[in-house]
Structure 1
Amino acid sequence: MPELSVVIPLYNEIDNVEPLVAALHAALGAADVEVIIVDDGSRDGSAAALDRAQAEWPEVLTVLHLQRNFGQTAAMQAGIDAARGEVIVTLDADLQNDPQDILPLAQRLLAENLDVVAGWRKNRQDGLLLRKIPSRIANRLIRRLTGVRLHDYGCTLKAYRASVLQGVRLYGEMHRFIPAWLSTLTYTDRIVEVPVRHHPRRAGKSKYGISRTFRVLVDLLFVKFFLGYSQRPMHFFGVIGLFSLFIGSGMLIYLFIDKFAEGAAISGRPMLIAGVLFFLAGLQFLNTGIVAEMLSRIYFEGQGKTTYVLRSRKSDPV
């Protein structure tokens, strides 16, 4: 069993395959490590190049070929599922992250008994307008909403304790939120960030663009809900429902008093329509909360999931 697993999702990086494997070989040396490169349905010859590299380094390198392009999150999850090490380090295949940073991150995680050591591209070598500014905006929003104080969520280079990382499943494009997901399983002071090297892209084409910023914002809404209310959805929908019922009931009571005490006409008044809408919306939110609560219980109980994670167990000798 290797002590360290390095997971690298790769898509259409034919020009970077050989330099990447050479850099990994130089950085990892004789360490007790396995390297898992997940080919996410590449169509440019990367798959054949990876197979050649695996044949030359079979004792360390494992290549997984996905049937088609499923996306970076799915490819990363495939690598995590296959990993056997106590520590899992994730890395991009474009060589902008430096493989020389892999071992220092893993060693710090073990030495300080941490669960996540995240890379911070403090001196980022990317374009200002299309990459740096949108990234800074997204990172600030993520920090505020998740409470995990990282400067650089977008840096793929991170070291994880495998027992914690394998406690979550990644879907959609949630790979950038892994530290936030893990904050539901561990304390945030066990998640630290360290500066790492970052290089300009020398070959290949970037898969990132300004459009990803909008997808991050949409994903962030789901992450915020999941982190706070996945085990108690009624608290989310119920509060909104009760507030809406309170507003609607107040409007309707006022109109009732106005009608029978003052004799005022209420038909066609905007407040009547608003009061009915608020009242019905409140009932709908409460019903949604009840349904969501039942689905949450089915999810946890039907799949044998628990609302806690056991870190270790020590028994007294018999």
Structure 2
Amino acid sequence: MELSIVIPLLNEAESIPELYAWIRKVMQENGYTYEILFIDDGSSDSSWTIISALSEQDPCVKGIKFQRNYGKSQALHAGFAQAEGDVVITMDADLQDSPDEIPALYQMITQDHFDMVSGWKKKRYDSVLAKNLPSKLFNWAARKTSGVRLNDFNCGLKAYRNEVVKNIEVSGEMHRYIPVLAKNEGFDKIGEKVVQHQARKYGTTKFGMSRFIYGFLDLITIWFLSKFGKRPMHLFGTLGVITSLIGFLAASCIGANKLIKLYQNKPAILVTQDPWFYIALAMMIIGTQLFLAGFVGELILKTKSNTSRYKIAAYSGLNRTLN
């Protein structure tokens, strides 16, 4: 199979039939073998009913329904697990991503040999203050922190080699940083393509300004995980040793100063009355705690087990048993 189209969605009943017809038209015009994977992230409208009906009519359509809303990252993770195509395309279900972009993205993966290609909505139809400016700031920070030179990290329209999606763990709210996750796994041939951004035709956006706040927090998380996620002792242990050493040296100096004054028969206050003693003591305690945090982190990494991040309520068009 050449293509897997993975589409996470939440309450997009109005746009699903039109999106399906558009994708099917593009696939038939180019003669691709394909599958369309709709991942219903706990919709409360008739989205799943429409997906089920489409999968009965067309064997290329497959669906996964979550028990409740778990988030876009979990939906992508479920879709990636089922994708069988040599090239995996992700896109949003709100018709703001154009299926007409798929052939060019497919070509960049298969002929230009990119590991993944990210869309860049260079011209957007969103509000300047509400989305455009925060998005530019967010993308600038992501570039500086991750070292991945992309202009639009958050674009839902992306293409991947199948091997990439099978080797990355998309959890929490990390769907914004899939290019960074791919780079951390050694897939560093990452390209970018300017794609058309279309105004939303149905419904309202599911994301508000809070996504940018969460995005920056996730950026800090992924920076830490990429640097120290597999070796927390390297960070916490180093900080702990340095902090403890500074505290120990400071306490030693305080004690030595006290002994020198006593030897010289000079007046000297009790060590416990010196405020610097408590600062030194606090540093030794904090250093010990940091060291132990790194040690516990290493133990967790050695003993952690994979846990279920979501519960699937139903499948459609897929030969799978329910969780």
What is the TM-score normalised by the length of structure 2? 0.87
- Cα drift, residue 291 of structure 1: 2.1
- Per-residue Cα deviation, 1:140-177 (whole angstroms, up to 9, x for no partner): 22212221121111101111111122112221111111
What 5-or-longer segments of structure 2 have no aligned partner?
Answer: 262-266, 307-323
Stretch deviating more after TM superposition (62-71 or 93-102) = 62-71
2:55: which partner in 1? 54
Stretch deviating more after TM superposition (237-246 or 275-284) = 237-246
- Cα drift, residue 85 of structure 1: 0.9
Alignment length, in residue pairs?
298
Once the two structures are aligned, what percentage of the paired residues are identical? Answer: 33
What is the TM-score normalised by the length of structure 1? 0.89
Tell me the SS of whatever aligns to 1:156: coil
2:117: which partner in 1? 117
Q: Find out whether 1:8 has 2:29 as its counterpart.
A: no
- Cα drift, residue 250 of structure 1: 2.9
2:207: which partner in 1? 208
2:143: which partner in 1? 143
Q: Return the index of the structure with the highest Cα Rg.
A: 2
Q: Relative to structure 1, is the Cα distance of residues 267 and 109 closer, same or farther in structure 2, using a 3 angstrom cutoff? A: same
Q: Choose the corresponding residue for 1:280, options 285, 300, 304.
A: 285
Contact 2:164–2:187, Cα closer than 8 Å, also in 1: no
**Matched residue type, 1:48:** T
Question: How far apart, CA to CA, are the structure 2 residues paired with 1:136 and 1:277?
Answer: 42
Equivalent runs, 1:114-193 vs 2, <5 Å: 114-188=114-188, 190-193=189-192
2:259: which partner in 1? 260
Tell me the SS of whatever aligns to 1:183: helix
- Cα drift, residue 268 of structure 1: 3.4
**Matched residue type, 1:119:** G
Contact 1:125–1:200, Cα closer than 8 Å, also in 2: yes
- Cα drift, residue 269 of structure 1: 3.1
Question: How far apart, CA to CA, are the structure 1 residues paired with 2:111 and 2:117?
Answer: 11
Tell me the SS of whatever aligns to 1:34: strand
Contact 1:41–1:69, Cα closer than 8 Å, also in 2: yes
- Per-residue Cα deviation, 1:217-253 (whole angstroms, up to 9, x for no partner): 2222221121111222111111211221132123212
Contact 1:33–1:60, Cα closer than 8 Å, also in 2: yes
- Cα drift, residue 125 of structure 1: 1.6
What 5-or-longer segments of structure 1 have no aligned partner?
Answer: 304-318
RMSD: 1.7
- Cα drift, residue 179 of structure 1: 0.9
